[in-house]
Structure 1
Amino acid sequence: MRSKLFVPGSRPELFDKALASAADALSFDLEDAVAEPRKAEARAALQDLLTSGHATPSGKTLIVRVNGPETPHFQADVAAVVRPGLHMINVPKVEHVDQVREAAQAVARAEATNGFGSGGTPGAAAPVKLLLNIESPRGLRLAYELAAADPRVAGLQLGLADLFEPAGIHRREIAAISQAMFGLRIAAAEAGVFAYDSAFADVRDAEGFRAEAALARRLGFLGKSCIHPSQIALANDVFRPSDAEIAAAQRVVAAADEADASGVGAYLVDGKMVDRPFVDRARVVLAQARSLGLIAG
């Protein structure tokens, strides 16, 4: 999920273009991108898309950002869009463990109502996961507790504008960005979920987007949010393992297999000591390369 394109739920004329794009994931938005008088209209448009099965053949990860649990729209949003083929519900502005549990319970109720079947039943739809937005000082401080609050949580997503602007922190302050990213990534790692990067509002600044995405990748983030189709190729390129990384990972895994066969615990590859954490990381790189068709399976 290198790239995730936001698509306003109130703009169904954009749905087919988004499904045909190069984005790995689509995040249909019922929250900030939809004006209050159009919430019900947008919800119905997404329900129609998801129940039609039209989106599933795209092979993309399908996500819906709903309105928050504290809003009057939350329950109706979840009931409408939790359908077979949806992968994740994106919950905004999460600050309390109870919000996570309420969201998980709402998703479970919708699954029971909307034809998911029971786990293990042939043909049963995969359970819908939660992607939690961390967009406030409290949310960042409690990020691990939020991520660990329910097994449905798949990842944490950083919202830098909402996190920084109310505190008077400049959105492009690199020291603040690095610290927020690192804090979120470590919380996600402790909880065993993925971390996902924030949106970048200046669509004209391709180099700024690329630099921020590159920082996120170095800190172990899975991918970056895109608010415009022009950002998709940038995210896909940054979060693609390079040919040099793939080759290095292949050498590490080959050396690990040889060391395992001979009972060696630590060894040198390209003049650097390698042990289990480096091997695990190399296997992740090769798995991603295979999934992108960059190397043979």
Structure 2
Amino acid sequence: MTWRDVVSLFVPAHVARLREKAEALGVPLVLDLEDAVPAAEKETARHAAAELVGRLPGRCTLRINPVAVSRAFGVAAAADDLAAVVRPGLAGVVAPKIDDVETLHRVDDHLTGAERRAGVAEGSVPLGAVIETAKGVVDLPLVARAGAALARPFGLSFGAGDLTTDLGIDWGPDESVFDTPRALLPIASRAAGLGRPRDTVFADVADVAGLRASAARGKALGYGGKAAIHPAQIDVIREVYRPTARQLGWARDVVDAAARHASDGAGAFLLDGRMIDDPVVARARELLASTTEGHE
């Protein structure tokens, strides 16, 4: 997975049947070593993930365990995960529960060491930090800036499941309960010069309408994509995030009109009664560029 992909699929790395099904789908995969894997299966999951990364170079991202735990669940096994799985062909690492800059730097140090031992160029494996605790939300601007300063590609991701657990609130159909922290990640990413963040997963696989609404809400807030937890969610997420024919037609009209008006030295101009200025033209160009960057 790259941070430009609009959808990727989480796969519990210890379950062979799910790995085989996911491999056949041809989508970017996030091999999960964290929440979906029981403690007794962590080593099995690492071996399976390493094998799949070697067989599917460039297609597999690894979600590691946290570097530390502060609640009654989770396993602090990030260093072991990275040492076992980092190798040529790994598309990226997703680090959960990034509460502060110190935690981010610890993950980066472990990843750099794993790259060195595996003969992978240091700083070449992209790192994604999941913001999914109250402390992580409060320290979000600092984490975003620290991530942007790392010597590797970096991006942010929002995690509603752990955040709602941390806050002691329900994670149900009404996603407005985490509207505020969810809205902050695209802002912090933009302010730090990062790409668009990844939105939280949607837990109710049977609720297609809810998934569509969740994906549309994330897109409207400025997210660049969303991970799926079941193959049935993939097409819905793609459909929501893919620019529509109408949007692309508007973008082409704006870019073409901007080129015509540039010759007369005009700044803003009218197109179909709407004022078009530089920020609108920039957005139109970004939309057109997105059609070749993971939206197809």
Tell me whether the two structures share a fold, i.e. TM-score over 0.5. Answer: yes
- Residue 41 of structure 2 is aligned to residue 38 of structure 1: yes
- SS state at 1:7 partner: strand
Q: For the Cα contact (< 8 Å) 1:156–1:188, is it kept in 2?
A: yes
Question: Which of 22, 25, 29 is 1:21 aligned to?
Answer: 25
Question: Which of 108, 112, 130 is 1:133 aligned to?
Answer: 130
RMSD of the alignment, in Å? Answer: 2.0
CA distance in 2 between partners of 1:268 and 1:17 (Å): 51
CA distance in 1 between partners of 2:279 and 2:22 (Å): 37
Query: Which position in structure 2 is the counterpart of 1:146?
Result: 143
Q: 1:13 deviation in Å?
A: 3.3
Structure 1-normalised TM-score? Answer: 0.88
Query: Which position in structure 2 is the counterpart of 1:10?
Result: 14
Q: For the Cα contact (< 8 Å) 1:69–1:102, is it kept in 2?
A: yes
Q: For the Cα contact (< 8 Å) 1:132–1:153, is it kept in 2?
A: no
- SS state at 1:14 partner: helix
Query: Which position in structure 2 is the counterpart of 1:64?
Result: 62
Map of 1:98-247 to 2, 5 A cutoff? 98-117=102-121, 127-150=124-147, 151=150, 152=152, 154-171=154-171, 172-193=173-194, 194-247=196-249
Task: Give the direction of change, closer, same or farther, for the CA distance of 1:22–1:285 in structure 2 (3 Å limit).
Answer: farther
Question: What fraction of aligned residue pairs are identical, expressed as a percent?
Answer: 36
CA distance in 2 between partners of 1:41 and 1:245 (Å): 46
The aligned amino acid for 1:103 is V
The aligned amino acid for 2:191 is E
Q: Give ranges in structure 1 of 5+ residues lacking alignment.
A: 119-125
1:252-273 deviation per Cα after TM superposition (whole angstroms, max 9, x unaligned): 1112222333322211223211
The aligned amino acid for 2:43 is A
Map of 1:258-269 to 2, 5 A cutoff? 258-269=260-271
Structure 2-normalised TM-score? Answer: 0.88
1:24-74 deviation per Cα after TM superposition (whole angstroms, max 9, x unaligned): x211000011100111111111112223xx212xx64x2110011125421
Question: Which of 96, 103, 108 is 2:100 aligned to?
Answer: 96
Question: Which of 26, 50, 53 is 1:50 aligned to?
Answer: 53
Task: Give the direction of change, closer, same or farther, for the CA distance of 1:270–1:154 in structure 2 (3 Å limit).
Answer: farther
